[in-house]
Chain A
Amino acid sequence: MAEPARVAASEADLIALARALVAGPPADVRALLRRTRALPPMISTAAARLIGDALAQVWPALWRGSATGTGRPAAPRARFWQDHAPVGLTFSVATLQLLRWVLAGRAREPERDGGAAEALASEMPLTLGDQVMVYLALDATAGMAVQAQLAAQPLVRSAALAWLGFADRLGGPTGCEFDPLCRGAGAIVVEVLAPALARRWRAAELDKRGIAAPEALIALGAAQDSVLGGFMTACDRSGRRDLAGFVIDAAAPLVDRAIAPLPLALDPSATLASRSAARRAAGALLRGVATWAAWDRAHRGVRFIDDDYPTAQRLLARFEAISPAGAARAEAWLTELAALPTVPAGTVDAS
């Protein structure tokens, strides 16, 4: 029987963090991040192998994660390995950098060493595996101060998947290309994450109703608009409009229950210009629904004899959760958000 691999204590923490990010639960990540520790500049081959073993579990972890949270997926789905041929995920040194940065904790306590926070950046483009780990790290640190610090790091902001899942946390327009997420393994990752993406976008939609600072809402809207615009254009270009289905799943319950993304608590001392811009920005997800509605109209025109008839039929069925009536309601909300603001009588001092 082979002897268990021996690693240093700091390496054991790195391995534990990789396992916790991949397999959860988030409490394990929280426990690991409670203390800061010094990490040597290199890791042993045994530690590298064990981290590699943990990363090899990413696919099943993604599948499990997509089905947890607020509930099961809306519709029964085949396991993704039944729908797709096996495809490997590659990881680069950026994943190790990410693990070390999260674990080192120096960024969380920049004053500890009397210096500035160490930036997390990568000179090489991120692989899809790296992007998945960035996504999982942002997910596992939800509700912790480190998530905001992580979201500000150049390496994280260069991950298109991070933008897709956490546009509300990253803020500002993205410069990422989304085409790699619409083909090959990238498309499978997005497909698997779709229920989680829908939950996250719906939660952001509800949160924006309570935002008071117009600048915050404008930044959030810019991020969401650039992400949805870029991603849906990429889906269209790749012939994979179905990948944008999470937009429907995020918006459908809100449209159904008439929960408009009207910002109800905007700071009344802000200028009317900034409040109007904030109201327009609040409609980012509705603009995604409007894009889907335009696609839906096009799908209705696809004839039985056309090559893409089966795809159009599938997408028509997909959009039924919102339906043309729901799309009209979303359109009316967008009009309301963009209209001249009305002020209840007696609330304005016009002296």
Chain B
Amino acid sequence: MSRAIQVRVSESLTRTVHVEDGVVAPLELLPILPPARMAALLAHELAARGFRRDGRRCTRTEPDGLEVTLDLEAATVAVALGAHVQLDEAVELSAAVAVESDDQARAALRDRAHEVLGDRLAARTFALQRAVTARLEAKVAALKRELDAAIGRATVAALTEKAAELGRIEETHLDEAGNLTIRVRL
């Protein structure tokens, strides 16, 4: 008569996971002046907002890891956010089996434990990805407002320069709605 024994298997898994999300979009910059000058005016506005210019690119890395890169020549903005975390998971499984099938039972439990660990890590990775995406969405909404403001100011500067090419600027008025009036004596 075979004897029943309790088989217990403990497995743990540590995995370093990197998730990221990002988006690239065109910048809506009006071609009022030559592209190089428009890029310079926008770069000036961006510098006031913490961007660093490196050739054709302006970049800013925020404390939470959000990376914003504007390509002034291609007129695009790229926003990316990533997260790098170490995930630890442990599981303990047990089963009552006949003593002669001890080895097979342990192997089966170990396989099952690996499956459980894999599923849990996949679920945590997915949750982490969703969290990164949600944070990025919130950041993108704020960034869009900030970039719209910077582009608006660069556009005003470009219009002012253009007006100065036409004659002597006598008066400039920007109302609350963002409408710009420039009076020029030719």
Contacts and interface: CB of A to CB of B under 8 A. Distances in A.
A276 B25 contact: yes
A342 B137 CA distance: 8
Contacts of B7: none
B185 interface: no
Nearest to A271: B21
23 contacts: A269-B130, A270-B133, A271-B133, A272-B22, A272-B136, A273-B23, A276-B23, A335-B28, A339-B26, A339-B28, A339-B144, A340-B25, A340-B77, A341-B137, A342-B144, A343-B140, A343-B141, A348-B137, A348-B141, A350-B134, A350-B139, A351-B131, A351-B134
B138 interface: yes
A270 B139 CA distance: 17
Interface string A325-351: 000000000010011111100001111
Contacts of A276: 23-25
Interface string B16-32: 00000111111010000
Interface in B90-117: none
A340 B144 contact: yes
**Chief secondary structure at chain A's binding surface:** loop
Nearest to A334: B26
Given A338-B25, A338-B26, A340-B23, A272 B141 contact: no
Contacts of B139: 350
Nearest to A277: B23
Contacts of B130: 269
A273 to B, nearest CB: 6
Q: Enumerate the 3 nearest inter-chain pairs by beta-carbon distance, A residue then B residue, closest first.
A: A350-B138, A348-B138, A340-B25
B94 to A, nearest CB: 35
B143 A340 contact: yes
Nearest to B26: A338
Nearest to B135: A350
Question: Which of A269, A271, A335 has the most C-beta atoms of chain B within 10 angstroms of its own C-beta?
Answer: A271
Nearest to B130: A269
Interface of B: 21-26, 28, 77, 79, 129-131, 133-141, 143-144, 147
Given A273-B22, A338-B26, A343-B140, 16 more contacts: A271-B129, A271-B133, A272-B21, A272-B133, A273-B23, A339-B25, A340-B77, A340-B140, A341-B23, A341-B137, A341-B140, A342-B141, A342-B144, A343-B138, A343-B141, A349-B134
B79 A340 contact: yes
Contacts of B129: 271
B174 to A, nearest CB: 24
A350 to B, nearest CB: 3
A276 B137 CA distance: 11
A273 B21 contact: yes
Interface in A178-226: none
A349 B132 CA distance: 10
Nearest to A337: B25
Contacts of B77: 340
Question: Which of A272, A273, A339 has the most C-beta atoms of chain B within 10 angstroms of its own C-beta?
Answer: A272
B75 to A, nearest CB: 11
A283 to B, nearest CB: 12
B100 to A, nearest CB: 39
Contacts of A341: 23, 137, 140
A342 B139 CA distance: 10
A273 B25 CA distance: 11
Question: Which of B24, B134, B139 has the most C-beta atoms of chain A within 10 angstroms of its own C-beta?
Answer: B134
A340 B133 CA distance: 14
A122 B133 CA distance: 46
Question: Which of B21, B77, B79, B147 has the most C-beta atoms of chain A within 10 angstroms of its own C-beta?
Answer: B21
Interface string A229-245: 00000000000000000
Contacts of A340: 23, 25, 77, 79, 140, 143-144, 147
Nearest to B148: A340
Contacts of B144: 339-340, 342
A262 B50 CA distance: 34
A317 to B, nearest CB: 31
Contacts of A338: 25-26
A335 B22 CA distance: 18
